[in-house]
Structures are given as C-alpha cells and as structure tokens.
A and B are shown apart, each in its own frame.
Chain A
C-alpha cells in the first residue's frame, strides 16, 4: 500500500504521530461509550445510582439478575430469539436463490428485479409496520412472532440477495460446468461443488439477518403486545423502569450483536461494495 490514496502519511515523525493519535482517539470514541454501558450493567443497582459514579464497575451481578428475572423479560428474550431465527431462515431461503439467479443467468427482467431490491433501500421500511398491522389482523397474524418475522425479513432480504449474489459471482462457473460434464445434474453440481464453497458466506448473511431482526425497535413495538421482543419491551419500559434495569437490558441487547458482527466483518464490505453499482 505504498501508493495509498488520499492523505498519504508523510515520513515525518510529527505526521505519523498525528495520524496514530487520531486513529486511537477515534477508536476510543467508539469503545468508551460501550464500556460505560457494560460497566453500569456490571454494577449493583445502588452503585448505578450512586454519585459521583465510579468509572470502574463494582462487579456485581445483581443488576443483570434483577433484569433477567424481571417480569416479562424472559418471555421477551425468547420472543426476540424466535423472531430473529425465523427472519434468518426466511431471508436466506428466499434470498439465496435470487442471488444465485442474478449471478448465473442473463434474462429479461433482471434489471427490473435489481431495481425492486434497490428500491427497498430508498424507503423507510419500519413504516411497513403500519399497513402490516392491518393486514395481519385480517389474516390472524396480529401479535405473532411469525408476523413480526415477516416484516423483519423485508428488512433483511435485500442484504441476503446482495451478499449471496456477490458470493456466487466470486465462484467461477467453470467449476459448475466441470461437475456437469462429470455427470452431475444442475442440482447435484450445486450441492456438491458450489454449496460447500459458499457456506461460510451464507452463514455470515444469515447472522446479519439475525442481527437486523434482533435490533429492530419500531416495527416490533407497533406489532406486538403479548409477544413483545426485547427492544420493544425496553422501549415500553423506558418511562417507569429503574436505571439499572435499562442499562442491564441495554447490555444484553448489545452483547450478541458485538459477537455476531465480529464474525461477519469480512462480508460487510462485499455487500456494500455491490450495493454501489
């Protein structure tokens, strides 16, 4: 990267110090607020409301325990997991075939489909919760885990299509053709040759769909009452919940996302790079 773009770091010491210093400050800017939330979650309720507050947590599980056994939290967590899991399965099952078709075939209407997928980006999707609330009452899907998963799939599907498209495009068609000449039919060739190669990418795309659903607040809060997800539960208890409950809840919301994003980090760029074209 000797010919890197933009502000090339000069050889001067001062320039290098400024560069490294800025990078470290930007890292702290991201990390410190997360640390503060986790520090709160790991402190006892009395330490959370103490003043002045210590930067170091009191390492006490009381807040987290209080949160986990709080009325409705267990149920909300379970709903969240169910919705996110359904979203993950649906967006891959529906999105991956489309991604494969886009990468392997030239056909009439291909552009039309691409526009349809890209159009989802230009709309405020959480608003879908409004008409869906009415649709779901008509077909008996109101306040169900499955109904919410449908809305979340609309959010995650475009990503699934774009990621799988870039995955399949990265695998030479010759590999598939070789399998055909060796006697595989199209389906066998796909399962034996292509599928193992794209599996890690498909997993990443599935994880991303999970995170999208896990984090979504608005549609979840509008569409569910009995089957509230964790974000919906937290949103609706903002006014009356004690501070330590909010912070423990926030931490429980953040942790899985942190871990998941670590596993999909390689693919984040593939999908946004494609989205540009």
Chain B
C-alpha cells in the first residue's frame, strides 16, 4: 500500500476542518474588529468599546474572578490529587465523584448555585430555620455585588476544579514511584517529598492545567448570567450583548479580540514561567 501518502490522507479531513473552521474564522474576527464593512481600517470599534461605561467593570470583574478563583483551584486540585494518589480502597469511586462537575454545563452550574443563593433558596432557608436571620435576604441583588461575586466564585470553584484535578492526577501517575522510595530512604518527610519531587516533576501538567483553566476563566459567561444577570458585567457577557442583543458585530469583535489578547498573554506567561529545561523532562 502507498504508505507514504496514507498518513497525509488520514490527516487531511482534520487539517482542512481546523483550517477552515478554526484558523480562518479567527482571522475574520480580527478583520471585523479593525475594519469597517467597506473595508477601511479603523480603530473606532476599540474606542467605542473602551468608552462604554461598562467596559472598565467588565474587564475588572473578569480579571478579578480569574485572580481569585484560579489560585484556590490550583491549591484545591493539588490537595485532591495528592489524596487520590494516596488512596488504597475506593479510589475509583472518589475520583468519579470529584470529576462529576466536568460533565456539567456552566449554565447548569450557575442554576445549581442559584438554588442555594436565591431569595427562597437553601441558604436563606437554613439561616432562617436556625434563627440566624429574621427574614430572607436578597443575596443576589444589585445592592449586594459582593455577594454575587462570592456566589460566582463558589460556583466557578465548584464547577471547574475537576478539569485541573484530572490533568494533575494524570501527571502524578507519570512520576516513577522509585523517586519517592529513594527519597524515603534518605529520610525526606512528606512535605519534602511533595516539594522536592512532586511539584518539580509535575511542572508540565501544572502548566497545561493553568493555561487551560485561565483561558476558561476569561470565558466566564453563563455562570455569571445565571447568578448575577446584568449586575455583574464580564467580558464574554459583553460580547454576547453586542453580538446578539445589539447586533453590533464590530464592537463584539473588538471585545473578542481583547479576550483573545489576554488569553494569549496568559498562555505565553505560563509557557515561560513554568518551562521545563531541556533534558529535564521525564
């Protein structure tokens, strides 16, 4: 059989698909953001974006959410991954339970936490039944932006820690057990083994997990929509408003470019800061 052309033939559909529906569309977004319908280059859509009164808030909330959520998730997923790798019995069932949120839509996650935080929700009910409050509190109103933010943070931690956990568990599985045995022989304690063996050898996995997670954090949308409505503006929500509600696809594209740019900056940052020196990989 013509073995030399076969691999290219097999790759052709996937390559074409990604070029037409992934690479090309992203160049189109850039064009939409920088050019008018008549094809003139302009920065007016960016000016329009920046001068909108919600712009500062949307940008701040999006970045702040990522800044608060991701470090907590990193610590939590490291802890959970360590637990899992120490388990003798019940490892599979625990791992299944912890990865359940991976299959749950961000919108559904928002609704789940809405059931807890809404006015007749479970949090109010419990506080009332235990006598902490006299009457239900409207947690998710525009006067309580802090509470909305907190609810979104909790929902995001609940929903998206699993993706980091899976990557880290897969990564820990690749570290040879002999390293730990050797460290134990030389008297390293638990914490030393964690910081001197696990963390350094887990660097590639940590990198992947952080890159993926931070990009997802910049895309936060449905959770916020379910919990905060328009009270907590985020970048992706603004893209949606521009594109779908206001039919202003140029400014929507400008917002999209902004998300793209901060995503690329964060990816480059993690590629650089967590790089593995040549020859040091497993």
Contact = CB atoms under 8 A, between A and B. Distances in A.
Contacts of B280: none
A208 B177 CA distance: 31
A209 interface: no
A239 B29 contact: no
Nearest to A127: B256
B104 A3 contact: no
Contacts of A23: 83, 87, 94
A53 B122 contact: yes
Interface residues of A, number: 103
A27 interface: yes
Interface magnitude class on chain B: 35 or more
A181 B80 CA distance: 49
A45 B276 CA distance: 56
Interface in A72-125: 93-95, 97-98, 100-102, 104-105, 107, 109-110, 113, 116-117, 120-125
A260 B236 CA distance: 28
Given A6-B193, A98-B13, A157-B14, 20 more contacts: A3-B184, A6-B86, A6-B190, A22-B79, A34-B104, A37-B108, A126-B219, A128-B21, A130-B25, A130-B243, A131-B25, A150-B21, A214-B105, A231-B107, A235-B222, A239-B229, A247-B114, A253-B105, A265-B96, A276-B205
A113 B107 CA distance: 33
A273 B173 CA distance: 9
B199 to A, nearest CB: 9
Nearest to B189: A8
A30 B263 contact: no
Given A121-B212, A235-B222, A253-B107, A51 B86 contact: no
A172 interface: no
B96 A262 contact: yes
In order of increasing CB-CB distance, the 3 nearest A-B pairs are: A250-B111, A215-B105, A261-B103
Given A6-B193, A53-B120, A265-B96, A272 B167 contact: yes
Interface string A4-26: 11111100000000010011001
Given A154-B22, A239-B229, A275-B167, A217 B222 contact: yes
B32 interface: yes
